[in-house]
Chains A and B, each alone.
Chain A
Amino acid sequence: MHIAIIGNGISGTTAARFLRKYSHHRITMISAESEYFFARTGMMYAFMGHLRFSDLLPYENWFWKKNKIDLVFDHVTRIDVLEKRLYLKRSPEISYDKLIIATGSKVNMPDIPGTSLHGVTGFYHKGDLENITNLHRSISNAVIIGGGLIGIELAEMFHSKNIPVTMVVRDAGYWRNTLPYEESEMVGSLIKKQGIKLLLNTEVREIQGNAEGKVKSVVLTDDNVIECDFVGIATGVLPQISLLNDTGIATEKGILVDEYLQTNNPDIFAAGDCAQIRSPDSGRKSIEPVWYTGRIMGELVANNICRNPVKYKPGIWFNSAKFFGMEYQVYGFVPNKKSTEYDNVFWQHPDTQKSVRIMYEQSTEKVVGFGLMGIRYRHEVCEKWILEETQLSTVLADLSLANFDPEFFRQYEPLVLEQYFQQTGKKILPAKAKNLNAVIKFLKNVKR
């Protein structure tokens, strides 16, 4: 059998690796972006000089040949689903028996005038990185549109090169459509502390260019004008599905797939950013453009092609990020708005660089989520607590089981309990600080 994969991102690559693990099928992976799989998540570090671009490649170049994964560095222009054939820009066409579409995302360009000017770019593809790397020496003022994860990465990148940055954010706080108020404020004040201008409740109405077609300024909804020679677009991403027009493969925002990640064509699967789950599990979204889901889907697709199909069950939601120096982690359900159904214990360090938020269902006191700033918690411990619907009091007493900060770091769990006491008047005695032995034991016994 010949399995073709369009896209060599984390989804396509994981699929290829597991296909190889499970089978001897012929595997061809096609991408127009880069010859070899690279971690787009680390692009900012390549720009800032922490890394070279070559450091973003998780596998050495011999890896693909050794594992008999054929790579094609070209653009797929058309899929012929009847003939089961792919047409490419330069190379001869490729026939397939099964096809995995893992084309990822594209930048969601806002619908305003001027987005095609020189000096306006998103930050998703390798080309964007090269573009910004080439441009940055001549940039004296940068504007970033969008207050999300990519927006702050772009801001940090320019800031590290001492280029003044203004972030224009539509919401009332940084990443406020995802972060609860306090966390959003913490990041917001961190951004401002760096000397970056953060304009909230503001949108860009128009990007203006000069006679040479270069960016010269942006006009805001409040009619203010900011002079700038670079505009970074960070208003989110959309599934990259233009290739599927007229193929009969069902799409909506993304490529519609069932719980086996199969499209409406039984020989064609989709995985990663480009896939849209028809009926996602509760607590999960139909499109989740993150690294982790791409990896899980890639593995699942490989399995479902080679072995008995298994349903996509991504489990408890998790994500992480870093805002300048401040690390962020989330496990489970941590809504950005208050509700009557859920309550939380929220502790914040006075220096506002650290916080712990534990969400629980009000009626039952079952813990449903953890949100962390500047403190690391253990993925598996939090996951287990949530999956087993553990009571808040149990979680709090054992909280240090979850602490994943490096050795000798100060532990703040007793302060979280103190905060809980002040919030509720209930006193919980902290269990002794836990070491890895205790964690392993805790994770091993399924129910205690």
Chain B
Amino acid sequence: MKKIIKLLGVLIFLTGFVIFLLALREQRFTLMPHVVESVIVNPYHKQLIKSVDYEMLEEQYESSEAFVNRLERLFRDVKIVEGLNTKNTSSEIQKNGAPLSEYDINQYIFELTLASQLGGIIVESSWWLRMTFGLMMLGALLYIFTGLYESPESNNAGVWQQSFQNRGLFGLLTGSFLIGFYIVLYWFPLYITSWIHLADPLSRSLNGNNAGQWFLYGAMYTLAILVMGTRMLIRYRHDRYQIFRTISVMFFQTAFAFIIPEILSSLNKPRFDFKDMWPLKYDFFFEWNLNTLLQSGHIGVFMLVWGIVLFLVAVPVFTWFFGKRWYCSWVCGCGALAETAGDPFRQLSNKKLFAWRIERYLIYAILIFVIVMTLLVLYTFFTGSANIGPLNSYDVRKWYGFLIGSVFAGVIGVGFYPLMGNRVWCRFGCPLAAYMGIIQKFRSRFRITVNGDQCISCGNCSAYCEMGIDVRAYAQNGQDVVRASCVGCGICVAVCPRGVLSLENASEDISQRGNIKRTIKLNLDDI
């Protein structure tokens, strides 16, 4: 029975997934005048585009490629017209702030394409939503609920024996899909307008507008956390630490990261995620963000102060009390995905010493990178000058955004779940984790206590530590674990068959945490 339901779940999920892929074939585009009106609001740009031929309007295109090609041609014409007009309109440009830049063009092309799509996906969007995300969620939940009929203590039986979880074929396929998805999402969203439209009904119900690519991403992210969070709740139903922590990340993702920003934006306030903080949110001090906040009245100023207090005050204080887990395993959005959707892959983290060596260099290098970048950005903000010596603050932030923000945190961070474990970003990349790690290592009440000499060196704790900490190396010496990288997920505690480990806080012995090795039996007094 259990097997049948599981199989049914997989089949339903795959059906939804196939329809999801097929949705990409829904490609019909026609540029309507009212779309141009609504997308291009800058009066100067509007005037420019009106000066060229409108022949493509209301013509039907059968692929996004053709449509985009045509749009590109349109904008080339616009640029030519702009070039011709430059002399006459220089006063006009000044009035409107900016000429039509490459960036504007790309943005317009994307938004025009998105808004020009026609066909079933637009007309019957809620049907499509149900047949894709609906089916996938239904299938996943069916599968997940069979966990209720399995003993939670044998959670990890067979983990290394199935290809989804041991870097086998299904693992590789899943990884490839995720990597591809991130690349398309970040750099080629033009080709997934159909997917973006899937989220329209949801978006409209939250903020009245159609979805954009980031809304789609946010929605998928949140759904993944909710569905796979349910899996965690079932899997660890015997463990109240896991239950509370999972509910917490599900809540913070849904309310703080997803719903509240949408509500704020529908109220014409800045979209603000009250739990996201610098330096993880690396663009917090970018001009556009500072300006948006500063121009949004009291609430904007409040957000600005809140964001600064979070990392300047809350981080040291909470990390002192509880270790970095208060954020990484209870609040953070990256952590939320890692601990829910990423849970099947936690054993894939590398436990070798050389991985730890790389980790140490990389994560602190990125912390320095983000600090330098932010200082440059602030310099530009206050002085208005972009160049500081050989560095151009716009270039530096562009590179950070591309390399760290997109490639590392997204493509590698999530795409590599099935290949390198679920905390690649948190372990090797996250500058906030690096910052909290320093506090955790040197001044925190937190540690993982080891229960006397009870460890039998079986290796379950190390194997399931997503941060690649060799917990066993400590446990078998009877030495409490004090490590900068530990996110306090508590899984080592849950999987240890001898109940050797516990996450604990105490102020009594902060500077001597982890000093004692209990298994050393010889007392020097005896000798």
Q: Are B451 and A324 touching (Cβ within 8 A)?
A: no
Q: Is the CB of B527 within 8 A of A308?
A: yes
User: Is A225 located at the chain interface by the 8 A CB criterion?
Assistant: no
A48 to B160, CA, bound (A): 9
Chain A residues with CB under 8 A of B459: 39, 42, 45, 51, 55-58
Whether B521 lies near A39 (C-beta < 8 A) is no
Residue of A nearest to B462 (CB): A55
- Interchain residue pairs with CB less than 8 A apart (13): A49-B159, A50-B157, A51-B460, A55-B463, A291-B457, A314-B521, A322-B497, A378-B452, A379-B452, A406-B239, A407-B241, A408-B240, A437-B508
Question: Contacts A50-B157, A160-B157 hold; do A324 and B151 have CB atoms under 8 A apart?
Answer: yes
Bound-state Cα–Cα, A300 to B151, Å: 41
Q: Is B499 an interface residue (CB 8 A)?
A: yes
Complex Cα spacing A324 to B190, Å: 53
Task: Please tell me if the beta carbons of B460 and A291 are within 8 angstroms of each other in the complex.
Answer: no
- The answer to whether A388 has its CB under 8 Å from any CB of chain B is no
Whole-angstrom distance between the alpha carbons of A88 and B299 in the complex?
80
A41/B527 contact (C-beta < 8 A), A325-B151, A406-B239 known: no
Q: Count contacts on B: residues with CB < 8 A to the other chain.
A: 56
List the B side residues contacting A303 at CB < 8 Å: 522, 527
Tell me if B146 counts as interface (CB < 8 A to partner A).
no
Task: Tell me the minimal C-beta distance from A162 to chain B in angstroms.
Answer: 10
A253 within 8 A of B: no
Q: Closest chain A residue to B353 by CB distance?
A: A60
Inside 8 A of A51's CB, which chain B residues have their CB?
A: 160, 458-460, 463
Write the residues of chain B forming the contact surface with A, with a CB cutoff of 8 angstroms: 151-154, 156-162, 238-241, 243-244, 352-353, 449, 451-454, 456-460, 462-463, 472-473, 476, 490, 493-495, 497-499, 502-509, 518-522, 526-527
- The reply to whether B497 and A404 contact each other, CB–CB distance below 8 Å, is no
Option from B454, B472, B518, B519 in Cβ contact (under 8 Å) with A58: B472
Q: Within 8 Å CB of A60, what residues of B?
A: 352-353
In the assembled complex, the Cα of A376 lies from the Cα of B161 at a distance in Å of 30
CB-nearest residue of chain A relative to B449?
A436
Q: What residues of A have a CB within 8 angstroms of the CB of B527 in the complex?
A: 303, 307-308, 310
Residues of A within 8 A of B453 (CB): 292, 295, 318, 379
Question: Which of chain A's residues 276-316 have a Cβ closer than 8 Å to chain B?
Answer: 291-292, 295-296, 299-300, 303, 307-308, 310-311, 314-315
Q: How far is the CA of A300 from the CA of B521 in the complex (A)?
A: 8
Q: List the A side residues contacting B504 at CB < 8 Å.
A: 407, 435-436
User: Is the beta-carbon distance between B157 and A409 smaller than 8 angstroms?
Assistant: no
B463 contacts A404, C-beta separation under 8 Å: no
Q: How far, in whole Å, are A256 and B152 apart by their CA atoms in the complex?
A: 45
Set B158, B493, B509, B518: member contacting A48, Cβ < 8 A: B158
Question: Apart from A39-B457, A50-B495, A406-B490, what are 9 other A-B pairs with CB-CB below 8 Å?
Answer: A42-B460, A160-B157, A300-B521, A303-B522, A327-B497, A329-B454, A329-B499, A404-B499, A436-B508
Q: In the bound complex, how far is the Cα of B476 from the Cα of A329, in angstroms?
A: 17
Q: In the complex, what distance in Å separates the CA atom of A57 from the CA atom of B473?
A: 11
CB pair B506 A437 closer than 8 Å = yes
Is the beta-carbon distance between A299 and B522 smaller than 8 angstroms? yes
State the CA gap A10–B505 with chains docked (Å): 32
Q: How far is the CA of A300 from the CA of B523 in the complex (A)?
A: 11
Quick check: A45 and B451 within 8 Å, CB to CB?
Answer: no
Q: Which residues of chain A come closer than 8 Å to B238, judged between CB atoms?
A: 325
B508 engages A49 (CB within 8 Å):
no
Q: Are A41 and B456 in contact (CB under 8 A)?
A: yes
- Does A337 reach chain B (CB closer than 8 Å)? no
**Which A residues are in CB contact (< 8 Å) with B520?**
299
The reply to whether B508 and A441 form a contact with Cβ atoms under 8 Å apart is yes
Task: List A contacts of B495 (CB < 8 A).
Answer: 50
Residues of chain A within 8 A of B161, CB atoms compared: 49
Give the complex CA separation of A380 and B520 in angstroms: 14
User: Could you say which of A55, A315, A376, A439 contacts B499, with CB atoms under 8 Å apart?
Assistant: A376
Chain B residues contacting A314 (CB-CB under 8 Å) are 521
Residues of A near B160 (CB, < 8 A) are 49-52
| B508 partner residues in chain A, CB cutoff 8 A | 436-437, 440-441
In the assembled complex, the CB of B466 is this many whole angstroms from the nearest CB of chain A, namely: 15
**Chain B residue contacts of A325, Cβ below 8 A:** 151-154, 238
Does A383 lie at the interface of the complex (its beta carbon under 8 Å from any beta carbon of B)? Answer: yes
Q: Please, which residues of chain A bring their CB within 8 A of the CB of B519?
A: 295-296, 299
Residues of B within 8 A of A307 (CB): 527
Q: Is the CB of B499 within 8 A of A409?
A: no
Closest to A42 in B: B458
Nearest Cβ distance between residue B359 and chain A, in whole angstroms? Answer: 16
